[in-house]
Amino acid sequence: MAVSPDSLAAPRTVVASVPVEPAGTFRSVQWGAVILGALAASAISAVLLAFGAGIGLSAASAQPWAGASAKALAVISALYTAIVLVASFGGGGYIAGRMRLPPTAEELAEADFRDGAHGFAVWALGIFVGGLIALSGVGGAVKAVGQAAAAVGGGAAAGAASNPELGRAAISMTPTDYAIDRLLAPAPAGSAASPGAGAPAASTTTASTPLLPAPSRADVAAPIARGFASALRTGQLDARDRSMMVATVMQQTGLPQAEAEKRVDEAYADLKTAEQKARDAAEKARKAAVITAFAIASTLLLAGAAACAGATAGARHRHERMVVTLFGSRRFW
């Protein structure tokens, strides 16, 4: 039997290579792996946040002497949420990188970048869906608040229609109201004309002079409130407003002038103290909001970096055919 010369040649060594798809099947983004990674990140974060909420509620207490303090719970909750977000997006990016198909010939030069880009896509998709959910919740809350405000406004309008005094008090202030309040302010004590030479007695009234109804409490309080509002804007109580308030207090309460002046000064001092406390609380809330915003932005950036790193690691493990095991003994998937 004839032997072919090729059969006498030395055996050739077969070198295993990375499976590469043929050219012409260029794929930019594999959305199946991205969507799966985003869903996995959302599921992991939901489960871990639910566990964290349970642990936090078990550590809190309605009694002031029991449980962790509110500040400690806030710090621990923020740290736990940050860790959960970073770990969740890292896991989602790993799944996306592991599920991504092997690179084509055109993609070999930038396979690492494309793997990381798929992790970034997982992070971006998760943030986008989470933002839509948050906006839908905020929109529902705004709609509910608007309906409640409309109901309250309708009730207030009905109440004003049934009560003329409330209707007058509810009219919005115009620029001339403040001047009218000063013009029609009661005269200070001791400055009213007494019956005497050329002055008619207070009891001499003709039948043609109608008696005006007594002003309501809302009508009396409105000019005082506007005077206090102007004083808070300017930083000091105007002398004319103070005289008007003192005269009003004397007429309504029967106090002597010294006591009425003391009451007006104390009320204005208390009002300034309350306004300063409100400003301090608003400033504290502003600083807390700034810190919270920066913390959220930093956490999201870390989560994005974790997603890119996880996708790169997943693709490398896919390339190395590494088997993921649970506790080092049994195969996890």
Rg (C-alpha) for the chain, rounded Å, is 39
Contacts of residue 155, defined as CB under 8 A and 6 or more positions apart, other chains included, come to none
Q: How many CB atoms lie within 10 A of CB 224?
A: 17
User: How do residues 240-262 score in pLDDT, each as one tens digit?
Assistant: 888 888 888 888 888 888 888 88
pLDDT the model gives residue 185: 62
CA distances from 33 to 92, 93, 126 (A): 10, 9, 13
Task: In whole angstroms, give the CA distance from residue 83 to residue 119.
Answer: 18
Task: In whole angstroms, give the CA distance from residue 96 to residue 91.
Answer: 9
pLDDT the model gives residue 306: 94
CB 309 within 8 A of CB 90: yes
Task: In whole angstroms, give the CA distance from residue 59 to residue 275.
Answer: 36
**Is residue 8 over pLDDT 50?**
no
User: How do residues 29-50 score in pLDDT, each as one tens digit?
Assistant: 888 899 999 999 999 998 998 9
Task: In whole angstroms, give the CA distance from residue 124 to residue 134.
Answer: 15
CB 128 within 8 A of CB 42: no
Single-letter amino acid code for the residue at 136: S
**Is residue 161 over pLDDT 80?**
no
Residue 122 confidence class, pLDDT cut points 50, 70, 90 = very high
Partner residues linked to 326 by β-bridges: 330
Task: In whole angstroms, give the CA distance from residue 203 to residue 150.
Answer: 51
Partner residues linked to 199 by β-bridges: 196
Q: What is the DSSP string of 228-240?
A: HHHHHHHSS--HH
Task: In whole angstroms, give the CA distance from residue 155 to residue 150.
Answer: 9
**What integer best gives the mean pLDDT of the chain?**
75
User: How do residues 61-89 score in pLDDT, each as one tens digit?
Assistant: 777 777 778 788 888 888 999 999 999 99
**Is residue 4 over pLDDT 60?**
no
Partner residues linked to 88 by β-bridges: none
User: How do residues 272-301 score in pLDDT, each as one tens digit?
Assistant: 888 899 999 999 999 999 998 999 999 999
User: How do residues 195-228 score in pLDDT, each as one tens digit?
Assistant: 444 444 444 444 454 555 677 777 777 888 888 8
